[in-house]
Structure formats: C-alpha cells, structure tokens
Chains A and B, each alone.
Chain A
Amino acid sequence: MAEEFNTEGMLDMYLFENTQLLEQLQEIVLDQRDADCFDDDSINEIFRTMHTIKGSSGIMMFDEITEVSHKLEDVFYYLRESKPENVPHIELVEHVLTVSDFIMGEMEKLSNGEDADGKAGHIVEELDKFLKSIKGNDKEEPVRASENAAPQQFYIAPMATSSSHFFRIYLTYAPDTVMANVHAYKVVFSLKDIAEDLLHYPEDIISDESSGDEILENGFKILLQTQATKEDLQNLIKESYELKKVEIFECTSKEFMAGFDSFGSEILIDLESSVEEIEKRAQENEKEDNVSLEDGGLFIAPDSIPEIKEKKTIAPGDFVIESKGVGKSKKLAKDKNKKIEKTSYISVDIKKMDQLMDLIGELVIAESVVLQNQDLKVPGLKLDNFNKAASQMTKIATDLQDVIMSMRMVPLTNTFQKMNRIVFDCSRKLGKDIEFEMIGDTTEVDKNIIEHISDPLMHLVRNAVDHGIETMEERAQKGKTEKGRITLSAKTESGKVWIGVQDNGAGLNREKILAKARKHELLDPTRLDSSYPDKEVFQLITLPGFSTNDKVTELSGRGVGMDVVVSNIQSVGGTLEIESTPGQGSLMLLKIPLTLAIIDGIVMQVAKTTFVIETGVVKEFINVKRESVVRKPNGEEFVMIRGEGYPMIRLSDLYHIEGGKQEISDGMIVLIEVDGKSVCVFVDYLIGKQEIVVKPIPDYIKRVQGLSGCTQMGDGSIALILDASGLIEK
C-alpha cells in the first residue's frame, strides 16, 4: 500500500506545514503556561492542530505520529467538550510539549531522509493515564465522535451489482483546511479500489501545491464509474472535520462522458455563515499584532510593556468547531464568488533566494562595470542619452535590491519562541520560577543573520536562567519579592538590530571577575582593579575559558560559552555589550547588522590595494597639514582636529603595504566613529562612494582583524572591506 502511494513532494509539504503548526502550538502553550488553565481558544487551537497533524500523518502512514497526536487530540477533545475543572495545568503543558517534541523529533528524522522510527508507546500511555486522571475528576464521560476512527480502511468493491453506475461527486472542504489537495488525494485513493473509471478536477493534486487553494475555492470534483452504489460511496467518503460537504449525484453515462462541463448547474451551496465575518476577525487579529509590533522601543522598564498577543493565523478555530454540529455543517463554503482578500504567501526554496541574491549582486557589479567603463572616458564623447538611460538603470537596480532584501527579512518571532521554550525547560529543571517576556519579536532581520544568532542567543538565555536569576531561597533572602524575569527584546536602531537579554537576577560580580582575571593573568599587573571601568571588566567574561561560576552545572558553566557567543556574533559583524548592576540583574545587548549582503561603501586606495568602508561609520574626510599630526614616543600617532586629538591608523603600516604615501599632506584622513569611539584612518586617496556586494573572504584564509570581507569592483579587481569596529579595537 505504502509503495503505491507516491509521497514525493508531499513529504516536503507535510514537514513544512506541520513544523509551522507545531511552532504555533508551542507558542500558544508557552504563552499560557503560567495560567491556571488554557482558555477556550487555545484548547480549540491545540485540538485543531493535533487533528490536522493526525490527519496528514495518517495519509503519510506515519503511524506513531498519528497515534500520539490522536491521543492528545482525545485529551483536548475531552477538555473542550466537558470543560473539566482541576486539570493539573502544568502537567498538561508538559504533556503537550512532550508530544510536540516527539513529533518534531520524528519530522527531523524524516527531513534528514531517515525513517520515522521513534516509538511513542510510553507517551501514549502517559496520555492515557492523564486522561483517566482528569476524567476521574469529572465523572461525565463524553462519547467521542467516531469520525476519525480508522482512517486507513479501504473499501473493496462488491461484486454483486451487475451494471456500472456513474456518479458525480462534489466535495467541499473547510476554508482553513491545510493541504486540501492531500485530503482530496486521500479520497481519490480510497475510491481507486472500486473505480472502473475515475476523473477528477483539479487534475494535478500531487505535485501542484496550488491545487489545494483551487480545491478550497471551487471544491473538488470527481467523476466516477463504478459497481458500487451510492450508499457505498457515502460510506466511503464521510464528512469529516475538514470535509465539510459531500454531494453524490448519480448520472448517466452520457453525462459522465461529457466530463466536467455539465457540472456547473447544481453547485448550489450558498450558506449564510459569512466570509465577511471570517475576514473581519482576521483583520482584527492582525490589528492586534500590529499594535504589539510597535512597542519594540524599550529595553528596560518592564512596566511599560504591553502583553504580546499570541499570533493567530487567519481562520479562528471557534467558528469552525461550532459549525461542526449536526445540521450546521452546511454553514460554510460560501467562498464561491467573494474572494477573501488576504495576503497570500508562497514558500520558496531558500537556495533559490540565495541564487537570486547572488545574481542581483552580480548585476550590481555588472552595472558598475558598464557605467565606469574605460571606453566612456574617451574625451569628447556625448553621453547625455547614455547617462539618462544609465540613471534609469541604476534606479531599477537599487529597487531590485530593496525588494530582494525585504524578501529575505524574517521576523525574530520564531527564534524568540525557541528561547521561551528554553526558559521554561531550564527553569523547571533548576526549580526556579521565571517569567519570560518578549518585546519587539516581530522585528525583522535577514534570514542569514537569524541563523547565526540563534545559538548565541540560546546561550545567553540559558546563562541568564542558570547564573543570572538566583534560586528562590536566595531571592527570598535578599528580599526580592518579584518573580525572576527574563526579558528578550529586539528593536532596530541606526541600521542595526539590537537584541537584548535582560534578567533581574544577581548581576555580575565585579570582584569575582577581576580576581579570576588576575589569576589567569589577563590583566595588566601594573593597573589597579579600580582603574578598570565596569564595561571593560564585564567584557572579560567573553574571553576563552572564563567562567565565574563556581561549579559546572548541567546547563552551563564550563566557560567555553561566552567566547563562542562572541565569536559567533562577530562573524556576522555584530557586537556584544554587557551591562550589569549588582543585585538588580544584567543586560546582554547584541548589536547586529540588518543585512550582510549589499552595503553602501566608501572606496579608497592605499598603494595598489583598494579598501572599502561602510559609509555609515564615516564621519568626515579631512586633509590635514603635517603639523596637526603628533607622534608619541611609543610610535603611536594622533591627529589634532578642531582642538580634539584622534588616534591615527596608517593602513599602509598596519597591513604592511609597500608603496603607500607617507606624507600626511599628500594623502587623506578618513575619520570613522563606532560606538562613540573615533579613529582616523590614513589612506592615499579616495575613489568614491559605491554600493558594494559583500563577499566573505574565503575560509581558507584565516581571519584578519579589521577586515570583514571582500568585494569585486567594477573593473573586476578585488577590494577589501574594512571592519570599523575591528579597526578601532586593534
């Protein structure tokens, strides 16, 4: 059976849809983990999610997943129908998370091309026990609808009927059905055994994902020639949760031959439960989301933080479930004429996006090759028309870049949700009571960057739970009344994303850090402890092998963490700042560039080497006289500009480039500023301002401080991209 069933392409869809569902599920669960019980919406939502997963897993023949989700669905069915009281909420939360972990784990295996071979027996047992125990609390035993039973039974054609019947079958699916085409295929598959001839429309329901939408909109039509009777068919195609309406009409062979053209007239379903209502609700939800979007501004003051609403997909669960009762099942499916005007999404292979990105990068380079072509520099050319056309092209290229950039931007929501889960798990393991809060989780960041910050962020959050927040006893001793709290916040500022992990725990212990640093000989022995500013002291914990925790715990404390965090962040051009107040908690602030791919840069030349620096950090270009440069005895130089002294770096000396200009007045000073620190960079001359496509320096070459990448210039040569903060640290 399984061999017959072509799962290619469907598996991807299955994994994609269910991963999303599970992420939403976790979000809901974690959002309400501190409540006494789930509210009705959430129960419905979880029920629906489990039901969908069960359904699609059933189709894909992943029996263990089907069983587990079925059990959990049972539990929530019971919760929904009988509304029992005294449900041990936290236990329930854990059950839901265990199930979602199990399914996630199996799906991981599937996406790696392995078999989903995990055994869910124990989880099912636990769930059974749990269900029994809550049923024990509440005597009323609801009868479970049998609509979902045995999804894999297939009908065998009876031989009794002498002549063939012809049927037209019209199926209507609930508008929120996930993967309607798969459900449709399920029906076709179940009819295969009895069918003598079968036609269906849309025709391609396996590989064409958009057919799912088509089915939702116009229904799924089948023409069937069979020995079976109408009753048989009705038994075979049962109305179910997704399948809102089954209409079977017997017809003549002539009509059958006519194909789908004769269909139209009987399409009658027109019911009052309105699309408008659904739409309206969806919009309301959106509005709420938008509100929560805007409050990304504050990092500290927790009282100014409105609760972040859980994000809902359009298709609120309640109305669907209500309409399920007998007699009401026709209340849906009016979306014939009116189209729901919602944003529609398609999922695209990230590789294709990267490819597009690369191509646009090439285009930008090609553009500068054309516009700065040597041939144009012949004197006496009339270039008016060329320049007009060129500026038009530049504009389009810039727009194109903006679009591809915005396509690559994804909200941090998912990443933050994962942190929520980590806080939940860790805090329970450690017996700490910790609230988790998210601010500005809808801030958008380049997809590539998200991949790089997920791990460091996890580390910081774990650290905060493990080391930051004190145990309950310690808090009581210190007279801290409020709960432990971890706040994850994100906002966009000056072209960077700021992500903060804040806790209200013990804060960093300055003395301990200094003592440890002395022991490891990381400090200048001639300097006094007190001469180190807090900021510098706290940065010490990011050095390799540095952990102030006295004992190594299961979660953290080996001191291999923070340096990995920092190097990960630096690899995407980010920085980590640490602030901490003893007794009141710490703030780890990540500042990460929004995007890596294309930057606006100033191009400059030192001897034969071309350098580029991000325009944003350049304060000004100055021609200074020789007298303004002062050389200290240790060889360091600084420049006096308008009465202020700035340290100066000669790129030719720094990178040992031969042939660079030595005389200050011959060259050019570029004043750059990062995080309040300024430095003058001395170069031979400036070339101009240009958009450049950042490419990484090949891994083969070890990291050079002060360089963040390279790029191809218009003439095909290679320029090195300077990393301003790296230069300043140097």
Chain B
Amino acid sequence: MSENEEVQKQKYVTFMSGNEYFGLKIECVNEIIVMQEITAIPETEEYIKGLINLRGKIIPVIDVRLRFKQEPFKYNDRTCIIVINVDSTTVGLIVEKIAEVVEISEDNLLPSPTLNHSDKAQQDRYVYAIGKVGNSVKLLLDPEKLLHDDMKVLEQVNAEEDEEE
C-alpha cells in the first residue's frame, strides 16, 4: 500500500467486560445472540462454559471474564454471546454487555503499552493494540490468541518433545 492512499479504517465490535471496553475486528464476528441455555462439559477449563445449540450447530462458549482470570459475573438479560469464527473454529464469547460498532483508523491504533513484566505480559497477551475513540480507549483483542494460545503452547511442548526423541 502506498502512503498517499487514504488511511485504512477498520470496524470493531466493542463490548464491555469488567470495567474496560474491548474490541474485536468485525470480520471475525459472525453474529451476536442473546444468552442461551448452556450444557456444561465436564473436565474442561473453567472458562469454557459448555456447549450451545446454535440452530442445529453445536458450538462451544467461553466466558471472557473467566478467560481473563477476572472475577466471574452473574449472567443477566444484558449478557450476550458474540459468535466468532477464527480459522474455521466457531466459538461463542460470553460478554457482559455489547457496546457498539466503532470505526478506528490505523493512525489511532497504538501498540499496547506494557511494563514487560513477564507474568503481566502473559496476562496482556490477548490485547494486540489499543484503539483511541474520542476520549476513550478500546483494548483490541487478538481473537486467535483468545481462543488458542494454550493450545499453541501445548503444541510447542509436544513438538519439542518430539524433537528430543
């Protein structure tokens, strides 16, 4: 892309979780549905709440707050499920409240500031950038990391083991 072209704009779906607003690129969002009845799956991570039946398609749902290792919250009628699709994996994200769809131009994106303490960085790994909208900021989430990072870690461990053989 040449520089004199108009600055790229991206649309984000924003939602509230805890006290912060988060944003997800709109391309990866399939739909937003109201809270559904969830069938729990035994022996899974705490943040995986279970399965829902989305018009005949069975998809897993995860609780974003638990994913961020924050306090659990009580589901109410504002609670929503954002159905996202990453690498052909469809997953529902349970969020406290849907905010709005915002447009953020690229020059309003900042790398996520961090003190680089290793354990904090670990917590921070889902946020790849922050976007400025007016006076507020949205934490922009990397959906792939949100779903998959521990799997990747596991795979790496496995791969290393394989190499050792």
**CB–CB A698/B60 < 8 A:** yes
The reply to whether the CB of B26 lies closer than 8 angstroms to some CB of chain A is no
**CB–CB A697/B42 < 8 A:** no
Nearest CB of B to A609, in Å: 6
The reply to whether the CB of B108 lies closer than 8 angstroms to some CB of chain A is no
**CB–CB B165/A700 < 8 A:** no
**CB–CB A697/B43 < 8 A:** no
**CA A657 to CA B51, docked complex, whole Å:** 15
The stretch that binds A, out of B10-18, B33-41, B95-103, B128-136, is B33-41
**CB–CB B52/A718 < 8 A:** yes
Give the residues in chain A near B147, CB-CB below 8 Å: 700
**CB–CB A700/B89 < 8 A:** yes
Total A residues in contact with B, Cβ cutoff 8 Å: 30
**CB–CB B162/A655 < 8 A:** no
**CB–CB A560/B39 < 8 A:** no
Nearest residue (CB) in A for B86 is: A700
Contact with B along A670-701 (1 / 0, CB 8 A): 00000000000000000000000001011111
Q: Which of A610, A717, A720 contacts B53 (CB 8 A)?
A: A717
**CB–CB B58/A710 < 8 A:** yes
Contact A700:B52 (CB < 8 A) given known A609-B40, A657-B42, A710-B58: no
The reply to whether the CB of B44 lies closer than 8 angstroms to some CB of chain A is yes
Give the residues in chain B near A705, CB-CB below 8 Å: 43
**CB–CB A718/B58 < 8 A:** yes
**CB–CB A704/B58 < 8 A:** no
Give the residues in chain B near A699, CB-CB below 8 Å: 89
**CA A560 to CA B89, docked complex, whole Å:** 28
Give the residues in chain B near A718, CB-CB below 8 Å: 39, 51-53, 58
Among A609, A695, A701, A705: residue with most chain B CB under 10 A: A701
**CA A59 to CA B147, docked complex, whole Å:** 50
**CA A355 to CA B116, docked complex, whole Å:** 50
**CB–CB B53/A704 < 8 A:** no
The reply to whether the CB of B113 lies closer than 8 angstroms to some CB of chain A is no
**CB–CB A712/B39 < 8 A:** no
**CB–CB B51/A710 < 8 A:** yes
Nearest residue (CB) in A for B39 is: A718
**CB–CB A701/B44 < 8 A:** yes
**CB–CB A362/B56 < 8 A:** yes
Q: In chain A between 575 and 598, which residues have their CB closer than 8 angstroms to a CB of chain B?
A: none
Interface residues on B, range: 20 to 34
**CA A657 to CA B162, docked complex, whole Å:** 37
Nearest CB of B to A571, in Å: 17
Give the residues in chain A near B89, CB-CB below 8 Å: 698-700
Nearest CB of A to B152, in Å: 13
**CA A704 to CA B56, docked complex, whole Å:** 22
Contact with A along B35-72 (1 / 0, CB 8 A): 00101111110001001110010111000000000000
The reply to whether the CB of A519 lies closer than 8 angstroms to some CB of chain B is no
The reply to whether the CB of B91 lies closer than 8 angstroms to some CB of chain A is yes
**CA A655 to CA B89, docked complex, whole Å:** 25
**CA A701 to CA B147, docked complex, whole Å:** 10
**CB–CB A720/B39 < 8 A:** yes
**CA A560 to CA B162, docked complex, whole Å:** 9
Give the residues in chain B near A559, CB-CB below 8 Å: 165
Q: Which of B43, B48, B51, B165 contacts A560 (CB 8 A)?
A: B165
Give the residues in chain B near A558, CB-CB below 8 Å: 165
**CB–CB A716/B165 < 8 A:** no
Nearest CB of A to B40, in Å: 6
**CB–CB A712/B58 < 8 A:** yes
**CB–CB B44/A609 < 8 A:** no
Nearest residue (CB) in B for A365 is: B56
Contact A716:B53 (CB < 8 A) given known A545-B165, A701-B60: yes
Give the residues in chain A near B165, CB-CB below 8 Å: 545, 558-560
Nearest CB of A to B126, in Å: 16
Nearest CB of A to B35, in Å: 15
**CA A610 to CA B51, docked complex, whole Å:** 12
The reply to whether the CB of A160 lies closer than 8 angstroms to some CB of chain B is no
Contact with B along A702-730 (1 / 0, CB 8 A): 10110100101000111110000000000
**CB–CB A720/B91 < 8 A:** no
**CA A704 to CA B147, docked complex, whole Å:** 18
Contact A704:B40 (CB < 8 A) given known A698-B60, A698-B89, A718-B58: no
The reply to whether the CB of A632 lies closer than 8 angstroms to some CB of chain B is no
**CA A521 to CA B32, docked complex, whole Å:** 51
The reply to whether the CB of A350 lies closer than 8 angstroms to some CB of chain B is no
Nearest CB of B to A53, in Å: 37
**CA A301 to CA B46, docked complex, whole Å:** 54
Contact A704:B37 (CB < 8 A) given known A545-B165, A712-B53, A716-B53: no
**CB–CB B44/A712 < 8 A:** no
Q: In chain B between 89 and 122, which residues have their CB closer than 8 angstroms to a CB of chain A?
A: 89-91
**CA A712 to CA B56, docked complex, whole Å:** 7
**CA A327 to CA B40, docked complex, whole Å:** 78
Nearest residue (CB) in B for A711 is: B58
Give the residues in chain B near A698, CB-CB below 8 Å: 51, 58-60, 89-91
Nearest residue (CB) in B for A558 is: B165
The reply to whether the CB of A268 lies closer than 8 angstroms to some CB of chain B is no
Give the residues in chain A near B59, CB-CB below 8 Å: 698
Nearest residue (CB) in A for B41 is: A701
**CA A695 to CA B52, docked complex, whole Å:** 13
Contact A720:B41 (CB < 8 A) given known A697-B51, A700-B147, A710-B51: yes
**CA A656 to CA B50, docked complex, whole Å:** 14
**CA A698 to CA B92, docked complex, whole Å:** 12
The reply to whether the CB of A654 lies closer than 8 angstroms to some CB of chain B is yes
**CA A306 to CA B124, docked complex, whole Å:** 68
Give the residues in chain A near B39, CB-CB below 8 Å: 609-610, 710, 717-720
Contact with B along A634-654 (1 / 0, CB 8 A): 000000000000000000001
**CB–CB A704/B42 < 8 A:** yes
Give the residues in chain A near B58, CB-CB below 8 Å: 695, 697-698, 710, 712, 718
**CB–CB B53/A654 < 8 A:** no
Contact A702:B44 (CB < 8 A) given known A717-B37, A718-B39: yes
**CA A697 to CA B59, docked complex, whole Å:** 8
Nearest residue (CB) in A for B162 is: A560
Give the residues in chain B near A719, CB-CB below 8 Å: 39
Nearest CB of B to A730, in Å: 11
Nearest residue (CB) in A for B148 is: A700
Nearest residue (CB) in A for B90 is: A698
**CA A602 to CA B80, docked complex, whole Å:** 34
**CA A608 to CA B39, docked complex, whole Å:** 8
Q: Which of B42, B48, B60, B162 contacts A656 (CB 8 A)?
A: B42
Nearest residue (CB) in B for A654 is: B42
Nearest CB of B to A376, in Å: 21
**CA A558 to CA B39, docked complex, whole Å:** 41
Give the residues in chain B near A654, CB-CB below 8 Å: 42
Nearest residue (CB) in B for A698 is: B60
**CA A350 to CA B41, docked complex, whole Å:** 32
Contact A700:B51 (CB < 8 A) given known A609-B40, A657-B42: no
**CA A678 to CA B53, docked complex, whole Å:** 33
Contact with A along B129-165 (1 / 0, CB 8 A): 0000000000000000001000000000000001001
What 3 pairs across the A-B complex have the smallest Cβ distances? A655-B42, A718-B39, A704-B43
22 contacting pairs across A/B (C-beta < 8 A): A545-B165, A559-B165, A609-B39, A610-B39, A654-B42, A655-B42, A656-B42, A657-B40, A697-B51, A698-B89, A699-B89, A700-B147, A701-B41, A701-B44, A701-B48, A701-B60, A712-B53, A716-B53, A717-B37, A717-B53, A718-B53, A720-B41
Sample of 16 more A-B contacts, CB < 8 Å, known A698-B89, A700-B147 = A362-B56, A558-B165, A656-B43, A695-B58, A697-B41, A698-B51, A698-B58, A698-B91, A700-B89, A705-B43, A710-B39, A710-B51, A710-B58, A718-B39, A718-B51, A718-B53
Residues of A bordering B, CB below 8 Å: 362, 365, 545, 558-560, 608-610, 654-657, 695, 697-702, 704-705, 707, 710, 712, 716-720
